[in-house]
């Protein structure tokens, strides 16, 4: 952003430099936008960029595990959710705040 501002301020617009600076951030924002988690009173919905949307009742969740965590902070990075029906799917935790994992865990524990 600073490069774009300086370029416009100087009167010579360097389009290539501006694109090189802004494009990675825009692509990352577009990628992040593909993920969503909605926690409701009795169910939740998880949407992933490259996989289908999953919805489940908390009482139908048999297990919620974290398969990878950040080494220093312990924040969940990836995990799996197993349903009572035997179905399971992965959750990309690193795109959500830690509070999302904690809230889902609390809902699942309360439903048992």
| Closest of 37, 41, 87, 90 to residue 62, by C-alpha | 87
For residues 28 and 51, membership in a common domain is answered with: no
Cα–Cα distances (Å) from 107 to 18, 33, 41, 65, 102, in that order, read: 45, 24, 8, 14, 9
Average pLDDT over residues 4-14: 70
pTM above 0.75, yes or no: no
- At residue 4, the pLDDT reads 64
For residues 7 and 56, membership in a common domain is answered with: no
For residues 24 and 42, membership in a common domain is answered with: no
Q: Is the pLDDT of residue 15 over 80?
A: no
Number of structural domains (the chain) is 2
What backbone phi and psi angles, to 5 degrees, belong to 72?
Answer: -85, -45
- At residue 61, the pLDDT reads 92
For residues 10 and 65, membership in a common domain is answered with: no
Distance of CA 18 to the CA centre of its chain: 28
**Average predicted confidence (pLDDT) for the chain:** 87
Distance of alpha carbon 57 from alpha carbon 47, whole angstroms: 15
Q: Is the pLDDT of residue 40 over 80?
A: yes
For residues 28 and 45, membership in a common domain is answered with: no
- At residue 102, the pLDDT reads 92
Average pLDDT over residues 37-51: 91
For residues 101 and 82, membership in a common domain is answered with: yes
- At residue 74, the pLDDT reads 83
For residues 83 and 104, membership in a common domain is answered with: yes
Cα–Cα distances (Å) from 97 to 33, 58, 82, 83, 104, in that order, read: 14, 20, 21, 23, 12
For residues 51 and 105, membership in a common domain is answered with: yes
Please report, for the domain that includes residue 79, its CATH number.
2.30.29.30
For residues 86 and 73, membership in a common domain is answered with: yes
Going by pLDDT thresholds of 50, 70 and 90, the confidence category of residue 51 is confident
For residues 43 and 64, membership in a common domain is answered with: yes
Domain that holds residue 84: 34-111
Residue 19 tokens read as: 């694109």
Maximum Cα–Cα distance across the chain? 64
Determine whether 61 is exposed, middle or buried from the number of CB atoms within 10 Å of its CB (0-12, 13-18, 19+).
buried
């Amino acid at each position: 952003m600073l490069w774009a501002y300086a370029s416009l301020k100087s009167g010579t617009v360097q389009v290539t430099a501006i694109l090189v600076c802004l494009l990675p951030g825009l692509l990352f924002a577009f990628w992040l936008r593909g993920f969503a988690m909605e926690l409701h009173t009795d169910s939740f919905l998880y949407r992933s960029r490259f996989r289908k949307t999953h919805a489940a009742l908390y009482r139908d969740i048999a297990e919620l595990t974290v398969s990878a965590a950040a080494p220093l902070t312990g924040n969940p990075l990836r995990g799996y959710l197993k349903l009572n029906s035997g179905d399971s799917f992965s959750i990309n935790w690193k795109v959500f705040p830690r509070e999302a994992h904690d809230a889902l865990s609390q809902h699942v524990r309360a439903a048992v």
